[in-house]
């Protein structure tokens, strides 16, 4: 998430009431999660296990809960609770904006696009040309939709990320300030849910088709011309490359990559990254031919035991 203008390190530290290490005029251009940070971004880290990863990332400002040596060319914000302070920044730079009409006046809707009754289009949404948005769709603020997109009834674009920190008193949610981006010629079935990024974009690539009741987690990037069947659940921060097929009831863990033109058969649990151009099946996931051989061999076990007796 980029800020509308550059801010100084001193300004951000004052906003958070925290100490800083570095030039008070050090430029702060935005804030992002570790996997999408760029120079000028703030990244937060609150566990020693991830200190080095954050400090050596592309981010040039690190919001951290311990005074450590500051890498050259970077700055530190010292906080007793970086998770809390990252939320403060999100709420400050991307505050919730109330809407009291079905289609917000700041929404941009392209020529030839049809929006059926009872659909909500939020603030600063952009919808391209010749789209068909069926009834009871909810399109949250800042969502971007390309041309020739079809979205069926009951689908929700832009709900919050499922991202929590456990506290003694319960779970504290990481505030979502990102977007959903739907590229041209995408088809989205009924009752799908696509969560916005925490600070970046959740993206559905051009020509991809989603069946009914598909869930896409925060910051996931789905490539072009993919097919995703009903009841598939895709976790956050997943990369699905071009022309991948996921059959019904596939589930994935977070932070993995599914290579281009891979085919994942129904009810498979994608527990790790997999190469493209192959077919996969089972939980934990394996190449389908190998998994089916294993299942065939398992069926032979009673016969083998009988012979041993």
Active-site annotation, residues:
218
Q: Please name which of 162, 179, 181, 180 lies closest in space to residue 171, comparing C-alpha atoms.
A: 162
Both tokens assigned to 237: 């921060």
Cis ω before 236 (30° cut-off from 0): no
Both tokens assigned to 166: 């456990």
Q: Is residue 25 classed as helix, strand or coil in its secondary structure?
A: coil
Both tokens assigned to 141: 């603020």
| Residue at token pair 């952009």 | 126
Alpha-carbon distances, residue 127 vs 103, 171, 185, 198, 226 (angstroms): 12, 35, 12, 21, 21
DSSP H/E element including 87: helix 82-93
């Amino acid at each position: 998430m980029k800020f509308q203008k550059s801010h100084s390190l001193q300004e951000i530290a004052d906003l958070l009431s925290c100490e800083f290490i570095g030039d008070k005029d050090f430029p702060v251009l935005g804030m992002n999660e570790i996997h999408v940070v760029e120079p000028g971004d703030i990244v937060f880290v609150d566990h020693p296990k991830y200190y080095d990863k954050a400090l050596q990332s592309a981010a040039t400002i690190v919001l951290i809960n311990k005074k450590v040596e500051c890498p050259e060319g970077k700055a530190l914000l010292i906080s007793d609770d970086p998770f809390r302070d990252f939320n403060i920044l999100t709420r400050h730079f991307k505050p919730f904006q109330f809407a009291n009409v079905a289609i917000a006046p700041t929404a941009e809707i392209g020529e030839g696009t049809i929006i059926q009754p009872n659909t909500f289009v939020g603030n600063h949404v952009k919808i391209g040309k010749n789209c068909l948005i069926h009834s009871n769709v909810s399109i949250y603020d800042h969502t971007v939709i390309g041309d020739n997109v079809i979205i069926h009834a009951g689908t929700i674009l832009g709900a919050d990320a499922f991202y929590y920190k456990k506290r003694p008193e319960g779970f504290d949610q990481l505030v979502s300030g990102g977007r959903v981006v739907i590229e041209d010629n995408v088809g989205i079935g009924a009752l799908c849910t696509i969560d916005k990024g925490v600070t970046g974009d959740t993206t559905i690539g051009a020509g991809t088709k989603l069946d009914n009741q598909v869930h896409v987690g925060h910051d996931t990037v789905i490539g072009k011309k993919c097919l995703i069947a009903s009841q598939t659940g895709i976790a956050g921060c997943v990369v699905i490359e071009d022309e991948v097929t996921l059959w019904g009831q596939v589930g994935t863990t977070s932070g993995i990559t599914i290579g281009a033109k891979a085919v994942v058969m129904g009810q498979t649990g994608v527990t790790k990254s997999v190469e493209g151009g192959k077919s996969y099946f089972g939980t934990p996931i394996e190449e389908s031919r190998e998994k089916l051989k294993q299942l065939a061999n398992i069926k032979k076990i009673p016969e083998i035991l009988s012979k041993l007796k």
